[in-house]
Amino acid sequence: MAELITGQIAPDFTLPASNGEEVTLSQFRGSYVVLYFYPKDNTAGCTTEAQEFRDLHGQFQAKNTVVFGVSRDSVTSHGKFIAKQELPFLLLSDGDSTLCNLYQVLKEKNMYGKKSIGIERSTFIIDPDGIITHIFRKVKAAGHAAKVLDSIG
């Protein structure tokens, strides 16, 4: 599969969301969409990243932008994470890794000598016409949401 690049149409998808409904990317045409992929609910870096998107949520809304966090955690796990962190945006559950594969965010990781496949923290900004305008890979959680906000519009 060719690597995703800016300027191309974002691959469409439908995934279960933390509110119990399904979200389809194309239903948000007319708005900017931030898709941020993160490894796991309730872990240090992922919590920092979610809190920063939460704290800037009003500014994202002012820029006609919808934010979605995506991980392979369950909808139930997402619900607990949202409640604990008071997140004002939906988290999408990609339990079978379909979206992670589509957006090419699964990478080999090596932790304490043990290799595994996990989500590489990545963010995609999609414009109101469904075009990918920015791709951030190998993201550092702290300060990332502000960089994303500055890149919109």
**Tens of pLDDT, residues 81-133:** 999 999 999 999 999 999 999 999 988 877 788 888 889 999 999 999 999 99
| Residue 52 forms part of a structural domain | yes
| Parent domain of 127 | 34-150
In sequence order, what DSSP letters do the residues of 31-63 get, joined into one string? Answer: SEEEEEE-S-TTSHHHHHHHHHHHHTHHHHHHT
Q: Which residues contact 148 (CB under 8 A, 6 or more apart)?
A: 34, 36, 123, 125, 134, 136
pLDDT tens for each residue of 78-88:
999 999 999 99
Q: Is the pLDDT of residue 2 over 80?
A: no
Residue 108: the pLDDT is 83
| Residue 11 forms part of a structural domain | no
Tokens 């704290």 locate to: 55
Number of domains in the chain: 1
| Residue 17 forms part of a structural domain | no
Cα→Cα distances 122→11, 31, 69, Å: 15, 20, 10
| Residue 95 forms part of a structural domain | yes
Residue 73: which CATH number? 3.40.30.10
| Residue 112 forms part of a structural domain | yes
Q: Active-site residue numbers? A: 46
| Residue 19 forms part of a structural domain | no
The first and second tokens of residue 81, run together, are: 């994470």
Alpha helices by DSSP H, the chain? 44-55, 57-62, 75-85, 98-102, 144-150
| Residue 76 forms part of a structural domain | yes
| Residue 54 forms part of a structural domain | yes
